[in-house]
Chains A and B, each alone.
Chain A
Amino acid sequence: MKTQPTGAVLVAGGGIAGIQAALDLANSGYKVFMVEQKAAIGGVMAMLDKTFPTNDCAMCIMSPKLVEVGRHPNIDILTMTDIEAIEGVQGDFKVSVRRRPRYVDLGKCIACGLCAEKCPKKVTDTYNQGLIKRKAAYVLYPQAVPLKYVIDEEACIYLQKGKCGACAKVCPAGAIRLDEKETRQTLQVGAVILAPGYKAFDPTGLNHLAYGLHPDVMTSLEFERVLSASGPYGGHLMRPSDRREPHRIAWLQCVGSRDQNRCANFYCSAVCCMYAIKQAIIAKEHSEHPLECTIFYMDMRTHGKGFEDCYNEARHKHGVRFLRTRVHTVVPDQESGLLSLRYLSEQGHVQVEDFDMVILSVGLETPPDLRGWAANLGVELSPGGFARIDDFKPTATSREGIYVCGAFAGPKDIPQSVIEAGSAALCAGADLSAGRHTLTVRAEVPPERDVRGEPPRVGVFVCHCGINIGGVVDVPAVRDFARSLPNVAYVADNMYSCSQDTQNIISSKIREENLNRIVVAACSPKTHEPLFQETLAVAGINKYLLEFVNIRNQDSWVHMNQPELATAKAKDLVRMAVAKVLRLSPLREELLNISQAAMVVGGGVSGMAAALALARQGYPAVIVEREGTLGGQARHLFKTAKGDPIAARLAGLIAEVEADARIRVYLNAKLTKVEGFVGNFKSTVAANGVETVIEHGVAVIASGGQEAQPTEYLFGRDERVITGLELDRRLKAGDPGLAKTRTAVFIQCVGSREPERPYCSRICCTHSVLAALHLKELNPEMEVFVLYRDIRTYGEREGLYRRAREKGVVFIRYDCEQKPQVKATSEALEITIMDHVLRRPLLIPADLLTLASAIVPHRDEQLAQFFKVPMNADGFFVEAHVKLNPCAFATDGVFLCGLAHYPKPIDESIAQAQAAASAATVLLSQQTIRTSGTTAQADVRMCSGCGVCVSLCPYNAPSLKTDGPQAGKAEINPALCKGCGLCVASCRSGALQLQGFNDAQIMAMIEAA
């Protein structure tokens, strides 16, 4: 290896995992090459309508990230590019890439769309899953990054037959390059992250499901486009055959997953149960008349945070019907046009039911070409065809220096992909930390123009959001109305204001037209205000000179049937915004230094992984552990799902922590006080009677969880009844009694998925199946029963479930209404259960009963208060965003990982710990941070010194000056002020104002309303 590693990373794949990894790396001092095979980044998430379990609009939460990647000075996006080979070693890789011709000059294309308009050739639109046609000259999707057209080589008449060239004739920018040839290039990087994603299983050929035989049988991804407002039907729920609204829709689960007869995918795809529930709920919401939704499934796998709630809501609130059966055949009826489904009911009777539409919940798989590609790169694959990883290094591939994240490392949902992206970014960055900031450039923010004293020149930009706004509100009328308002100097309407290309137009208009106040009428400021603020900064004006008008979420979407009133409302809202924006003034952000150290609360596997990750990059870390030893719950565990003995690996981890001079560990320790804020925390740790004050810039909460102590099934009253953790302890200790067991029974969901604790504990199914296998290994003659509600061995863990059945473990399902009964006699524990196949009660005399007890968090209210972070009803901490920010809190500088977030296995805990460390690294590597400009300000001339503000503020931001000529008057510490405005509304003298929301601004809005 060279003395200094190359400070650049190649990220293969521009889906959400690749995007997150690229942003983490580029924001912490590394150059990133993002290599994408398609014409634009975005991946599968860009095709989705909504995301579970919150039903957020996928594009709305994603587009700010797309734009951030697109405009990042340290990320080079290489589209239509394939990776051919990776040579070299960690720290010094040479990656050969091949760029296929786009036939459009990226530098010249202005995305006007004339080429597509004039192109005579129509082809199937793959982005819309082939439901509609597009032209041979096209843009992948409207918000694509880069928003540049591309010519489909296979379809283009000129490229195929040498005649046409209509696009080149009409292109006003002269961007068409029909003679472009493919090029090759070698990129020098220190590390590689593979995030090529997955392919949805293709059910073509599954004739028993009538896929391809009838247009109303479609895949879930196709249906996602049907539901999407940007999709082929504009979000109107219709079936493709006759464009009529369906009345009955069926979802068939596990198509291309958990199936070795019709395909070779033994694993569970982990996401289909949730997306089917989401689609059923959304379809019901979209439907004008009552819609019947039925989901046919084998096991409902809602094992993630908030998933079980969503499942319960679907059943009880939305009336989605769930049928546990596998559909035998789908037969299209020629006369009625309906789809006839034949299945076996739970009672064992053959049923035939008609549906208007059938959605196949297709699984996730690694296509053969991707498998071959991985093999060429020297990356080993798992039995399911995903990158093989180690439970303790969850994102490292078999080749050193090459990391992996997203669905290529196993089927998974968006939050898990984002977590892995953080983990991969951290590992890649840690390898290269000596090369940090060697290849990057500083973002050039132009000097800010001083607009004070200038007469206001307001620019109003009204967004169509495709048809989301424009389909209801008369956008041109709103634009023209804005022109009539006082001080408005420029107006425009845009198709998608959030697209990178429009952002560039807005910033150049601000310069050209000399605008100094901006009103954007579009979606919600909660998702998009930061993006537009950045655009203002790029244009050289203070970012606080922006007012956002919500004419989509709070207008066009909620008044769809009253377009005139919706337009009137939009005009009123724009008038109010213009009135406010005139009164806005530039705000200043304070620059604070970030203390280059971290505190990690919790010394379990997550806490240690986070501390090590930070220390490896040179940031000192302190671990505060409540118990007398490191290791947390992992100390009691036997083996991981992949069969790794945990004790040895844990000992290695502890030894690493103890050997690292940059990590200080406080055992038997407790936080007694936390002061300060992001970058400048001051915490007091009490350990063994000594109090130490620690200064740190960031905090990682890894406070963990534990096994709940059951109260049912004779636990604590009969020593033959134990918990899963106790069984692991005995397995680990090599208890000779275990092998002598004749009959062992596991009861699942003890204390989980119950009214008082509604969530699924995620890991117990895998754990019990694994333990059952261990018992079978000790004594193959042992009879082992697992009594379950749904087996949730998600992902490749499904292989364990299969193996357990092969080894003779008997799985019997029970209902919440009819739980197993346990009676103790001197000879045995008599367990009675209603057998779901025989439909008769079954008595199992057992000599060992293991309860798969719930995982509960350490409900640490004080910790929550110390760092001002929220906790949900179950006692788990609440992350900043369930999808895209799963390991940070809304409170700046505080991060989250491990069981304190949600129950999870060791590999996922370590990935989340590293992702939390990655997010923390982004912050620490900046070295300074800007506070928000939206803070309170005191006018000493008006202050009477009453001290109400001081007594009200929960953040101690106001204080009364103690000396100087203004002693006794209030002052606000902008670094502590959160900008809530409580003191402002309560000040009796009117001496306080909240900048950005001052009285004059709000009064102006009221008067303009």
Chain B
Amino acid sequence: MDWQPKIIAFFCNWCTYGAADLAGVSRLQYPPNIRVIRVPCSGRISPKFILNALRNGADGIWVSGCHPGDCHYIEGNFYARRKFALLKNLLEYMGLEPGRIQFSWISSAESTKFAATAQQVTEAITALGPAANFVKSFSGLLVEA
């Protein structure tokens, strides 16, 4: 089989995770490369998670939350957006290929948008090939909190 990228996705519980559920209910088909980590809100996602995912060999990261203005927790996604815009710039400055980290805003009703984005994210990361830049050859450096 061809090389398949491993993509770690962080979805907020209320919007994008719901959209992913609805995509299932509607039987929309998309590539099976995504490993979802459910968090309450995109505001919960720490830049450390993304760094750790890259360090542990993820070929791509997908972060998705509610549309700006629609956050279940009122404004968590605004903070997330600000944080990740900065992080993305920083990582790209450090040499990470643009496109390794993908962001989207998908409401719980947008199942077709979800499936289309999953397809597009997978294709973009597949085109980049395996990630090598930030991968540690050993793991376990991070002490558990």
Binding site for B on A (CB under 8 A): 50, 54-57, 60, 285-286, 524-527, 550, 552-555, 557-562, 565-566, 568-569, 572-573, 576, 583, 868, 890, 934, 952, 954, 978-982, 984-986, 990, 993-994, 997-1000, 1002-1007, 1009
Contact A954 B21 (CB under 8 A): no
Residue from A526, A984, A999 within 8 A of B13 (CB atoms): A526
Contact A554 B24 (CB under 8 A): yes
Beyond A57-B25, A558-B32, A952-B79: 7 further Cβ-contacts under 8 Å?
A285-B27, A559-B30, A568-B32, A572-B35, A573-B35, A1002-B37, A1007-B52
Contact A980 B44 (CB under 8 A): yes
Which residues from B are CB-within-8-Å of A1003? 48-49, 52, 142, 144
* Distance, CA A979 to CA B14, complexed state (A): 13
Those 7 A-B pairs whose CB atoms lie nearest each other, nearest first = A981-B44, A553-B24, A982-B43, A980-B73, A557-B24, A980-B41, A565-B32
Which residues from B are CB-within-8-Å of A562? 32
Q: Cβ of B74 < 8 Å from any Cβ of A?
A: yes
Nearest CB in chain A to that of B18: its residue: A526
Q: Cβ of B45 < 8 Å from any Cβ of A?
A: yes
* Distance, CA A550 to CA B34, complexed state (A): 12
* 5 intermolecular pairs with C-beta atoms under 8 Å apart: A55-B26, A286-B27, A557-B25, A558-B27, A569-B35
Q: Cβ of B8 < 8 Å from any Cβ of A?
A: yes
Contact B43 A1009 (CB under 8 A): no
Contact A934 B40 (CB under 8 A): yes
Chain B 9-44, CB-CB to A under 8 Å as 1, else 0, gives 000010001101111111111101001111111011
Q: Cβ of B46 < 8 Å from any Cβ of A?
A: yes
* Distance, CA A162 to CA B13, complexed state (A): 58
Q: Cβ of B75 < 8 Å from any Cβ of A?
A: yes
Contact A954 B74 (CB under 8 A): yes
* Distance, CA A993 to CA B144, complexed state (A): 13
Which residues from A are CB-within-8-Å of B58? 1006, 1009
Contact A560 B29 (CB under 8 A): yes
Which residues from B are CB-within-8-Å of A993? 145
* Distance, CA A979 to CA B12, complexed state (A): 12
Nearest CB in chain A to that of B142: its residue: A1003
Which residues from B are CB-within-8-Å of A557? 24-25, 27
Residue from A554, A576, A890 within 8 A of B20 (CB atoms): A554
Contact A978 B44 (CB under 8 A): no
Contact status of A569 and B32, CB under 8 A, knowing A982-B43, A1006-B49: yes
* Distance, CA A9 to CA B109, complexed state (A): 39
Q: Cβ of B106 < 8 Å from any Cβ of A?
A: no
Q: Which of B32, B58, B73 has the most CB of A within 10 A?
A: B32
* Distance, CA A980 to CA B76, complexed state (A): 8
Contact status of A1007 and B76, CB under 8 A, knowing A55-B25, A980-B43: no
* Distance, CA A890 to CA B46, complexed state (A): 26
Contact status of A558 and B52, CB under 8 A, knowing A980-B44, A981-B41, A982-B41: no
* Distance, CA A183 to CA B88, complexed state (A): 72
Contact status of A982 and B25, CB under 8 A, knowing A526-B18, A1006-B49: no
Contact B29 A552 (CB under 8 A): no
Which residues from A are CB-within-8-Å of B8? 1006, 1009
Nearest CB in chain B to that of A987: its residue: B46
Residue from A978, A982, A1006 within 8 A of B53 (CB atoms): A1006
Contact B21 A1002 (CB under 8 A): no
Contact B39 A56 (CB under 8 A): no
| Shortest Cβ gap from A585 to chain B (Å) | 13
* Distance, CA A962 to CA B18, complexed state (A): 41
Which residues from B are CB-within-8-Å of A990? 145
* Distance, CA A557 to CA B29, complexed state (A): 8
Q: 8 Å CB contacts to A: which residues of B77-131?
A: 79-80, 83, 109, 115
| Shortest Cβ gap from B78 to chain A (Å) | 10
* Distance, CA A686 to CA B60, complexed state (A): 54
* Distance, CA A1000 to CA B8, complexed state (A): 17
Which residues from A are CB-within-8-Å of B28? 558
Which residues from A are CB-within-8-Å of B21? 524, 526-527, 550, 553-554
Contact B27 A1009 (CB under 8 A): no
